Amino acid sequence: MKLRVLVASMTIICCTFATAQIVLHKKLVQFTQSLPQEFQSISSERKAELMSLVDRVITQRNLNGSVALVFSSSDNATASQMAQAWMQVAIEHHGLHNMMVSSYGTTEKAIDKATVKSLKNAGFKVQSNATFSPKPRYLVSYSWNSNPMLMFSKKSDNFQIPTSNVVTFAVDENLEINSDEMCKKVAGEMFFVAEKIQ
């Protein structure tokens, strides 16, 4: 009897460690399953830019043991916020360690409502804190077993932007595509980068 209890306990412990990797929200699982197909639509020029980012991240992590990946854009309201959200998911999905992600803009502007909607459409759970209006802050959840991200528009001098072991990557604000298409494009690129870092 004691042996059965011990075996059952060990099985539960092993299963717990096996599932220690994040468990994405169901809708996000469906969304991310199609992302490897997006890799084929990344142009060779863009892949070269992303591979340069991969090389810088790996070098920084090898030198210092950790890396702070920071996405920059003009106003930190659209693509850089998407890049931050998707890279965080990609890092955890691929089990990468000693990496943190953030974003900033050269100016501060409220996160675009279409950006928030696109993240929700992809499967993120987003809660707004109207206390900080007109520039609200959002708690963005992607998994039931990970802490949510705090997302808000900020400049490079914000105290939450890391200052050591930093790799900065300027994000392209493609205004020719709608927000949902941009979300899919950014997600594909971030998963591509995470896979190459792995």
Q: Using CB atoms within 10 Å of the CB of residue 95, give its burial: 0 to 12 exposed, 13 to 18 middle, 19+ buried.
A: exposed
Report pTM: 0.86
Q: In total, how many domains does the chain have?
A: 1
The answer to whether residue 105 sits within a structural domain is yes
Domain extent for 141: 24-197
Do the domain assignments include residue 18? no
User: Rg of the Cα trace of the chain?
Assistant: 18
Tens-level pLDDT at each residue, the chain (198 residues): 443 433 333 333 333 333 456 789 999 999 999 999 999 999 999 999 999 999 999 999 999 999 999 999 999 999 999 999 999 999 999 999 999 999 999 998 889 999 999 999 999 999 987 676 678 899 999 998 888 999 999 999 999 999 999 999 999 777 678 999 999 999 999 999 999 998
Residue range 45-62, pLDDT digits in tens: 999 999 999 999 999 999
DSSP-assigned letters across all residues of 43-101: -HHHHHHHHHHHHHHHHHHHHHS-EEEEEEESSSSSHHHHHHHHHHHHHHHTT--SEEE
Instruction: Quote the pLDDT of residue 175.
Output: 65
In this structure, is residue 9 part of a structural domain? Answer: no
Q: Residue 129 has what pLDDT?
A: 78
Domain for residue 135, yes or no?
A: yes
76 contacts 153 by C-beta, under 8 angstroms? yes
Q: Does residue 172 belong to any structural domain of this protein?
A: yes
In a domain, 10, yes or no: no
165 backbone φψ class: left, alpha, beta (φ>0; ψ -120 to 50): left
CA dihedral 138, 87, 70, 117 (to 10 degrees): -30
Q: Is residue 138 part of a domain?
A: yes
**What are the backbone dihedrals phi and psi of residue 169, each rounded to the nearest 5 degrees, phi first?**
-135, 120
Q: What is the CATH number of the domain that holds 180?
A: 3.40.50.2300
